[in-house]
Amino acid sequence: MVTKLKPVREGFTMIEMLITLVIISSLLVLVMVGGQRFSRSSLQTERAFWNSFDGYWKQALYEAQYHGRKTEITIEKNAPIIFRTDKGDQSLTLPRSLHPERAEKLLIRSNATISPRTVTFSSDVDQRKYRLVIQMGWGVYHVDREAA
C-alpha cells in the first residue's frame, strides 16, 4: 500500500507576497501624504499668526504714539496672547502647533518705547524655534525662525 504524501508548504506564494506588499505600500503612502498635508497647513497657520501678531503690534504702537496709551502684552502657555490697554483687551489665538517656552509680559510704554527682550516659541510642525527679538527703543522687533 502506497500513500501519497502532501507536499510540505513552506513560506508564502508569490500572490500572497504581492498582496502583502500592496497593503503595506498603500498604508505608507497614506501616512506620508497625511503627514505632509498636516505640516503644510500648520506651517501656513503659523505664518498667518505672525502676520496677525504684526498687525496687533502695530496697533499697540499706534495707540502709544498717537493716544499715549500703554499696552501690556501677556504671553502664556496654552492661552491666547492678550494685548491690554485702558481702552480694552484684544486677544490673539496661538496656533495649536506653536508654544511659548515660558510666560512673558511685555510693556509698550505710553511714549511707544519698549525694553529689549527675546521671547522663544517652539513649533510642533518641524521642531523649529521662533525667536521674537524685541530691539531696544521704539517698538522694533523681528522674528527669527531657527533651523531644526
| AA letter at 19 | I
Q: Which top CATH class is 14-145?
A: alpha beta
Q: With beta carbons less than 8 A apart as the criterion, state whether 50 and 95 touch.
A: no
Work out the pLDDT band at 22, boundaries 50, 70, 90.
confident
Q: In the prediction, which pLDDT does 2 show?
A: 67
- Which is more confident, 30 or 75? 75
Does the predicted TM-score (pTM) go above 0.75?
A: no
- List, for residues 110-131, the tens digit of each pLDDT value: 998 999 999 999 988 878 899 9
Position 100 pLDDT exceeds 60:
yes
Share of the chain above pLDDT 70, in %: 86
